[in-house]
């Protein structure tokens, strides 16, 4: 990690500890004898810290855009600074920038990267890389997460809970 991301990472860690009661643990990195990795014992204070930063950054974005307008920059120039696609006509990018900043509405087609509807993480109990689809409109654990080992205790518990919740066995 470099630059803004690394600085933000350190800041988020500090906020997680100082404001949200997070605790830092050092754990060894598999395959390295001397290197350790700092992480939060419970990642949730990290989520709270990151959300606080997101909200603060959002406020900054609005503030700087207003200052840009105050000194005579156009909404199209602001759109360019936001990284909005210039494939469309200028007025459209200007409208997309206004929608983003003022209305808090994301005009998806102007953003270059389409967000994937999934994320992934390494499952602690089974060690496999799991693709996480969120609630995805289905309550079945296999529709929400894929990649767990067959023997994964966490996934088996989720399946068992799902059978209870849906009264599958009755
Ligand atoms: Zn697993």
How do residues 19-28 score in pLDDT, each as one tens digit?
999 999 998 8
| Ligand 1 geometric centre to CA of 147 (Å) | 7
Predicted local confidence at residue 77, as pLDDT: 93
CA distance 134 to 44: 17
pLDDT at 108 over 70: no
Round to whole Å and give the CA distance between 33 and 137: 44
Eight-state DSSP code of residue 150? T
Work out the angle at residue 5's Cα, subtended by the Cα atoms of residues 80 and 125, and round it to the nearest 5 degrees: 125
Q: Separation of 145 CA from ligand 1 center, angstroms?
A: 9
CA of 64 to the centre of ligand 1 (A): 44
E-assigned strands of 11-148? Answer: 24-28, 36-40, 119-122, 129-132, 145-146
- pLDDT: which is higher, 110 or 59: 59
In 47-134, beta strands by DSSP E:
119-122, 129-132
């Amino acid at each position: 990690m470099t630059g803004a991301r690394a600085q933000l990472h350190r800041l988020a860690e500090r906020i997680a500890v100082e404001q949200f009661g997070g605790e830092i643990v050092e754990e060894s990195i598999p395959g390295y004898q001397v290197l350790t990795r700092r992480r939060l014992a419970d990642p949730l204070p990290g989520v709270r810290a990151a959300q606080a930063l997101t909200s603060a950054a959002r406020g900054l974005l609005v503030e700087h855009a207003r200052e840009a307008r105050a000194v005579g920059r156009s909404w199209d120039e602001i759109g360019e600074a936001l990284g909005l696609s210039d494939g469309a006509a200028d007025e459209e990018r200007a409208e997309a920038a206004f929608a983003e900043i003022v209305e808090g509405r994301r005009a998806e087609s102007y953003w270059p990267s389409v967000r994937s509807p999934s994320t992934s993480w390494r499952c602690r109990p089974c060690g496999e890389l799991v693709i996480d689809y969120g609630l995805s409109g289905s309550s079945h654990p296999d529709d929400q997460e894929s990649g767990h080992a067959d023997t994964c205790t966490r996934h088996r518990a989720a399946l068992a809970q799902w059978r209870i919740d849906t009264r599958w066995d009755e």
